Amino acid sequence: MAGASASFSPIQHIPPIRRNILSRGLSSMCTRLPWAAPMACAPDAAPELLQAAKLTVDNYVRSGMVVGLGSGRASGLAIQYLGRRMRDGALKDIVGIPMSVSSASEAAKSGIPMDHYKDNLQIDFAFDDADIIEEGTLNAVIGRRKLEGGESIIQEKSIVKTASKLAFIVSDKQYTRDLDGSIPVLINSGNWIETAEEIDDLFLGDAEVWRRPTSGPAGPLGGDFPLVTKEGHHILDVIFTSPILDLGQVAESLSHIDGVVDHGVIFGIPCTVIIASKDGIQVADNLAKSSVIDKL
């Protein structure tokens, strides 16, 4: 790969499935690996995203609820607005369960009382960002962002799946049938290369498999400082070079690979999606047998 660091040379010392990855390169770092340059990739919050965040709080949060507080730009706006509604007295006795360090920080600044996530905790409602939502099924991908210290894709996913009601807040560009980009996969750190090879074989020709680094250049081997989650796992970013035709099937396939602990796909659960666009806010859900979309 052009510009590969010296730690990846000579190429003959790299496992065979890695050689084609190094030779192809990565054409769009922001699109396919958004954690690599988050500030450069993220646009300023659009007014329509703020309106979607407000609608989420106004329509779904009630006094006395335990609320899962999501991660990301839209969730941050929703947390700020939730705090404002509490200060105004419109909502009372809310307890927030933050999904990340950033959501906890935003909740603290907004004056929202918080508790830690526990396995037996009853969460009435949760909102979260998604990197992409599959139109129709409403299957979602989370975890592409750069993880800060103490953050956990596993915990975020657990809160989302535990909530009695769930809403994702996304832009219209993130709600699509044309799925692409990466899926983060949490794996056991021991014998990780074997797991990566099996994933590479599963999606042969359709995806590249890179181990996510803590710092330094991204690449198949994750550089000298691979990211280790708080649970002790490594993250492989499965970067699709062809369209993802069935996100649920991809998730099922990943779950059956030895060494895979979890992944960033959320599928098969009832949810609502608040979609922000310049033409207005749309709301889609899969609460009935078929997905329904309304324009507000």
Q: Which residues are catalytic?
A: 156
Write the DSSP string, 178-212: SEEEEEEEEE-STTHHHHHHHHHHHTTTTEEEEEP
Helix (H) or strand (E) holding 244: strand 234-244
**Are the C-beta atoms of 236 and 191 separated by less than 8 Å?**
no
Give me the phi and psi of 199, to 5 degrees please: -65, -40
Neighbours of 275 (CB within 10 A): 24
Q: Give how far Cα 211 sits from Cα of 47, 219, 223, 238, 242, Å.
A: 36, 7, 8, 9, 19
